[in-house]
């Protein structure tokens, strides 16, 4: 019998959780390129075209999954928590149109992920390096979110 603490169960759970977070988050943002609310927002000149997000996020989710898989002994629980805040951001920002609350969510997400980076550094250097692009991207996303909060 497999327990929740077994490596196989944890790794499988991480894979399923990342896929679910990606799916749930994308359900809120799939219409961003046609949503009049989003299109009418004043956005930063650094805001990438919509298609870039469709390229970057799948890559980041794969890197996240691999890094969590490699360091699951240290990051399992907190990684699941950060996935919740990751998916929640899209809903807060796009679906509920609450950029300020989304900004608070992403700041918390960054803090959690810096903590995860620290844990990964101690557990598995490859996991650490594979996780860095995600933390950099959400930090950039926080700038874009802050710009919208300030300028709208």
Provide the pLDDT for residue 14: 93
Q: Are 80 and 116 in contact (CB under 8 A)?
A: no
Nearest CA-CA partner of 41 in 124, 97, 120: 97
Name the domain count of the chain. 1
Residue 1 lies in a domain: no
Give the ranges where the chain is alpha helix by DSSP (H).
7-29, 36-39, 50-70, 72-90, 99-123, 125-151
For the domain that residue 80 is a member of, what is the CATH number? 1.20.1260.100
62-103 pLDDT, tens digit per residue, is 999 999 999 999 999 999 999 999 999 999 999 999 999 999
Residues of the chain with pLDDT under 50: none
Residue 125 lies in a domain: yes
Question: What range does the domain containing 130 cover?
Answer: 7-151
């Amino acid at each position: 019998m497999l327990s929740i603490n077994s490596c196989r169960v944890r790794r499988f759970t991480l894979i399923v959780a990342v896929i679910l977070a990606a799916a749930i988050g994308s359900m809120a943002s799939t219409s961003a390129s046609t949503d009049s609310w989003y299109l009418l927002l004043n956005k930063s000149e650094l805001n990438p075209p919509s298609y870039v997000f469709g390229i970057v996020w799948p890559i980041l989710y794969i890197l996240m999954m691999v890094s969590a898989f490699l360091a699951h002994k240290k990051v399992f629980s907190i990684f699941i928590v950060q996935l919740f805040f990751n998916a929640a951001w899209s809903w807060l920002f796009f679906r509920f149109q609450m950029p300020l609350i989304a900004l608070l969510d992403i700041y918390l997400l960054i803090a959690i992920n810096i903590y995860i980076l620290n844990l990964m550094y101690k557990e598995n250097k490859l996991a650490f390096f594979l996780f860095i692009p995600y933390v950099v991207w959400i930090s950039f996303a926080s700038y874009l979110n802050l710009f919208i909060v300030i300028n709208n």
